[in-house]
Amino acid sequence: MIRIYVSCRRILAVLSLLFAGSLQDAARAQQLEAPTVVPAIDGILKAFQNHALVAIGDDHNSAQEEDFYAALVRDPRFSTEVGNVVVEFGGAAQQDTLDRYLNGQQVSYADLRNVWTDVVGWIPTVTGLGYANFFAQVRAVNLGLPPDRRIHVWLGEPPIDWSKIKTKADFQPILGQRDTHAAHVIEKHILEPGKKAIVIYGGLHFYNNIGLRKLVEKKYPNAFFIVALYTGYATKSCTGNFEQTVLDWQAPALATPIRGTSLENKLYRNDCDVEPRTSLPLGPSMSEAQKAQVSEALERMLSGVDGDALLFLGKAETLTRTPMEPSIYLDLNYRREIERRQKIAFGESLTDSTVKENPVSPNYIHPR
């Protein structure tokens, strides 16, 4: 009985310490100032007062995010105050085709499709219908604007002629040009002439030490303002705990700053992962210390805590994936070509991007 009693006392002592620690954490969080939360488009346009580039981390195929891009370019202030967008989901070899389309000329669908098909990093191809829809939204806006005020979309993927790509050895050198080419586009067409632009790229391009942001900011320091997207967490309890703290946010909302505010502690916690650590792309040759370091860096990026602002498009349970652009399973010749590229890049057949994976009903990111 004495041993049990001593054990209980120890447990109570540990619990009291943990409780005291949680109270201290809560007290520290209360001492930190809350971020400023504003309508998202207003916040993004305001960021251009101090930065030439506002980068939005693209959670590939996020339906709500792609709808937000469309709403952003439809805002009458955008064409006047910004006027340029640099995107990852289009190949520079097709810039002339896109320019003609966005300026109202007639372009066949087969030709237009090459814009998002002739890409390098989106293997096997850009499949999300929301990206094609974005180009159509810009065209619709431009048709109502005088030529000197029309929105220009710059395609960031390096030029590639897939008809000349026969082996992985042909492909690899171009793959290595992805960030350097995009940096060149931004410097030549946006920063050198003193313009501004929204840059829509996957988040890793902005946090990688050798990525797009680092390349641009070597010559243009502090050019970027980074907007991270809230997508929820791997467990419902973590998602619920965070969302209880943002109940008064009206989507779409932008919260800034993140670092140094109460939002930083709420977004990134050691016990709450955006993606399960076991699903992160960790190489088998990495040491345990390297895996831990890479895991932490990826989780910080995915949570948004390393961004300058957090884009909130709704609770995690409401977020969905965009439908696929159906050419990938309706046009058999197109699919054969995309499968050829898949085999070159990965040495395996294309098994995804099928009609079964493209439901008409909402495709929720988080199981309901």
Residue 164 resides in a domain: yes
pLDDT at 60: 96
- The answer on 77 and 187 residing in a single domain is yes
Share of the chain above pLDDT 90, in %: 80
Residue 295 resides in a domain: yes
- The answer on 146 and 77 residing in a single domain is yes
Q: Name the DSSP class of 187.
A: I
- The answer on 273 and 136 residing in a single domain is no
pLDDT at 8: 42
* Buried-state track 168-204, b at ≥16 Cβ within 10 A, e below 16: eeebeebeeebbebbbbbbeeebbeeeebbbbbbbbe
Residue 329 resides in a domain: yes
Among the three residues 280, 301, 322, which one is the final residue of a domain in this structure? 301
pLDDT class for 70, splitting at 50, 70, 90?
A: very high
Residue 22 resides in a domain: no
Residue 11 resides in a domain: no
pLDDT at 45 over 60: yes
Per-residue pLDDT reduced to its tens digit, 291-345? 788 788 888 889 999 999 999 999 999 999 999 999 999 999 999 999 999 999 9
Per-residue pLDDT reduced to its tens digit, 99-137? 999 999 999 999 999 999 999 999 889 999 999 999 999
pLDDT at 20 over 70: no
pLDDT at 22: 44
pLDDT at 195: 98
Task: Please compute the mean of the pLDDT values over residues 77-92 and round it to a whole number.
Answer: 98
pLDDT class for 10, splitting at 50, 70, 90?
A: very low
- The answer on 172 and 95 residing in a single domain is yes
Distance CA 305, CA 227 (A): 10
pLDDT at 200: 98
Higher pLDDT, 275 or 280: 275
Tell me if 92 sits within 8 A of 158, measured CB to CB: yes
Structural domain tally of the chain?
Answer: 2
Among the three residues 257, 278, 301, which one is the final residue of a domain in this structure? 301
pLDDT at 30: 58
pLDDT at 294: 79
Q: Which two tokens stand for residue 321?
A: 């994936």
* Bridge-based pairing state of the strands 320-321 and 363-364: antiparallel
Residue 14 resides in a domain: no
Distance CA 111, CA 113 (A): 5
pLDDT at 34 over 80: yes
Q: Which two tokens stand for residue 331?
A: 């046009």
224: nearest Cα among 291, 343, 306: 306
Higher pLDDT, 338 or 25: 338
Residue 41 resides in a domain: yes
Residue 184 resides in a domain: yes
- The answer on 322 and 334 residing in a single domain is yes
pLDDT at 12: 39
- The answer on 71 and 170 residing in a single domain is yes
- Write the CATH number for 309: 3.40.50.11550
- The answer on 102 and 190 residing in a single domain is yes
Of 29-43, 116-130, 276-290, 324-338, the one with minimum mean pLDDT is 276-290
- The answer on 229 and 258 residing in a single domain is yes
Task: Give this prediction's pTM.
Answer: 0.90
Task: Please compute the mean of the pLDDT values over residues 225-229 and round it to a whole number.
Answer: 97
Q: What is the domain range of residue 54?
A: 34-268+304-364
Task: Please compute the mean of the pLDDT values over residues 200-228 and round it to a whole number.
Answer: 94
pLDDT class for 28, splitting at 50, 70, 90?
A: low
Q: Which two tokens stand for residue 294?
A: 């890479």
Per-residue pLDDT reduced to its tens digit, 149-204? 999 999 999 999 999 999 999 999 999 999 999 999 999 999 999 999 999 999 99
- The answer on 191 and 332 residing in a single domain is yes
Tell me if 185 sits within 8 A of 39, measured CB to CB: no
- The answer on 332 and 219 residing in a single domain is yes
Tell me if 164 sits within 8 A of 170, measured CB to CB: yes
Beta bridge partners of 82: none
When the pLDDT of each residue in the chain is averaged and rounded to a whole number, the result is: 90
- The answer on 171 and 255 residing in a single domain is yes
The CA-atom distances, in angstroms, between 335 and each of 25, 66, 106, 222, 338 are 54, 24, 25, 42, 5
- The answer on 134 and 44 residing in a single domain is yes
SS3 at position 196: coil
Tell me if 160 sits within 8 A of 92, measured CB to CB: no
